[in-house]
Structure 1
Amino acid sequence: MNFFQLLRKKKELIPLVAFMTVAATGATSFALYSPRKTDVIIDRKRNPEPWETVDPSVPTKLITINQEWKPIEELQKVRRATK
């Protein structure tokens, strides 16, 4: 039995197929979109600890309004002690 013949015979399956198609399309498009974002790091061999290269004085938000970024002194002390 063909898929479309089954849908014509059992019309109550049409909304289920429509919702599942939309969900699968959304999941696939998000899976293809997310590796292109700069927040996502896939390569673990060249940069195994990416949080070590983040500069606390540089804002990472899209927009910052009237916010001053300062390095955290305790973090700087720990970083100097471990190097």
Structure 2
Amino acid sequence: MPKGTAPKPGPVSLALAPLLNDAFLELLVTQKRFGEMLGGVPQSTVSLYLRGERAIDVDLFVTMCRVLSIDPVEVFAVAVRSTE
């Protein structure tokens, strides 16, 4: 993979995006503020994650779930089941 090229999201990443986006919308903060809560993720990158246009690193996924007050194991299981 060329340097600076993010991996394309696979089916599980695509299934995670709407689940995370729904929880994000309930948080009632801007994407910029959410990125700050995640440790400095740029707003444009947050947008890519929430639209399913960029794969989410597992550590960031867990952090996102914690910030959103949702169970990462449950969310991941729902996403995986939806791809079967």
The reply to whether TM is greater than 0.5 is no
Asked which structure has the greater RCO (Cα within 8 Å, sep 6+), the reply is: 2
Computing the radius of gyration from Cα coordinates, the structure with the larger value is 1
| Interval containing the TM-score (normalised by the shorter chain) | under 0.3
How high is the TM-score relative to the length of structure 2? 0.23
